[in-house]
Copies of this chain bind each other. A is one copy, B any other.
Amino acid sequence: MDRRLDRKVGIKDVSREAGVALSTVSHVLNGTAPISQEVRVRVLEVARRLGYLAKRQQKGVIASLTTLYLAVPPGNLPHNDINLVSWTLLTALSRECERRGIRVVAHTGAPELNAAEIISGARAVGAEGIALVFDDNPALLRALAASDLGVVLLNGEDPTMNIDTVAPANRYGARLATEWLLSQGHRRILHLTWRGRSTIMRRVDGFHDAYAERDLPQDMAEVLYAKGYEPAHARDALKTFIAERGGLDGFTAVFCAADNLAIGALSELQAQGFHIPKDIAVVGFDGVAPGDLTVPSLTTVRVPLEALASNTVQVLERRLSVSGFGNPACRVELGCQLVERESGGSVFAQRQ
């Protein structure tokens, strides 16, 4: 099994590139001799750039995970082309595993995920670890946690904190987008979301946090629930909303809990003759699709997919090797980034 990271970078390469002695590099890396701050920094910088640090860390990683068993609720599987996020995240995870020489086997079973099936499936292929993606069925999580396999939940929530989890910082990401809109002068913001999994609810929390942080009254903020996360659901929800209120009702921005919804919001608003962002600003969440898929291009919160994938593998490997099963479960949330494009604009540039 080859580990692609090893391109034979050695400390010899680092020493040459950094212009210091071989022994100096060794001392810097191990802290075995007092080295001046400037040399230390230069050596570490070069070592990182050449990928030596990564290689060395990789060597420290024990091959405790040779086969990863991937359990995804069927609705989120790649063949469902609506969910680009799922597809991209799974792709990133596969790539990460390939890079590390880890075999990935996808679970195939009944439409409803079943713990016993997953566990026996994992055993059958000799997998040491299971990555459960997009699911947070409490009973399923409990049953998986009780097995002696390593389990990590990706993009979900385990409130019982029995199994390790890696997820985007949904609450903080939503807060970030809302705060950005507030900083652009918006005060009446509509949060368009759906009654989805708990991770989506965290985005509602973050929406309210931003108002609370600025001591703005929460009744300026409003949450509109669509019937699902597809563009058509967003269109329906907004159509009803605008009909009932006889217009935008003073809202100057729509913050959507998913890009999918934002796409639907854009079309519905435009169909009704509103200009984006001149009449109303639209901000999404996910940042997976390229920005120029919509007109105008979509301002959104980008979820760090690659980092999610690599952290997933790392958390699992750590659990299977050094940390063992005695240590408390961890939940790793990764920061999201606001991508400013055309659909989000200042309220002051709007025609009122």
Contact = CB atoms under 8 A, between A and B. Distances in A.
Interface in A227-266: none
A330 B330 contact: no
Nearest to A60: B60
Interface stretch (A50-58, A81-89, A184-192, A216-224): A50-58
A328 B337 contact: yes
A352 interface: no
A107 to B, nearest CB: 19
B330 A331 contact: no
Interface centre among A61, A101, A159 (most CB of B within 10 A): A159
Contacts of A173: 161
Interface centre among A60, A62, A332 (most CB of B within 10 A): A62
B62 A161 contact: no
Contacts of A176: 160-161
A140 interface: no
Given A53-B62, A159-B172, A160-B176, A330 B334 contact: yes
Interface string A319-336: 011101001111111111
Interface stretch (A28-36, A72-80, A113-121, A269-277): A28-36
A62 B29 contact: yes
Given A48-B321, A62-B56, A160-B176, A169 B29 contact: no
A59 B159 CA distance: 35
Contacts of A160: 172, 176
Contacts of A44: 62, 64, 320-321
Contacts of A331: 169, 172, 332-335
B63 A31 contact: yes
A184 B250 CA distance: 48
Contact of A61 (B57, B161, B304, B332): B57
A31 B58 CA distance: 13
Interface centre among A56, A161, A336 (most CB of B within 10 A): A161
A100 to B, nearest CB: 10
B329 A101 contact: no
B328 A53 contact: no
B328 A66 contact: no
Contact of A62 (B47, B209, B307, B335): B47
A60 B59 contact: yes
Interface string A3-47: 100000000000000000000000011111000010000001001
A60 B57 contact: yes
A247 B304 CA distance: 52
Given A61-B60, A159-B209, A330 B322 contact: no
Interface of A: 1, 3, 28-32, 37, 44, 47-48, 53-54, 56-64, 66, 101, 126, 159-162, 169, 172-173, 175-176, 205, 209, 213, 304, 307, 311, 320-322, 324, 327-337
Given A28-B63, A60-B61, A159-B175, 17 more contacts: A30-B63, A31-B66, A37-B126, A44-B321, A53-B322, A57-B321, A57-B322, A58-B60, A161-B172, A161-B173, A304-B328, A328-B334, A328-B335, A330-B335, A331-B333, A332-B333, A333-B333
6 smallest A-B Cβ distances: which pairs? A60-B60, A31-B63, A161-B335, A328-B335, A329-B335, A331-B333
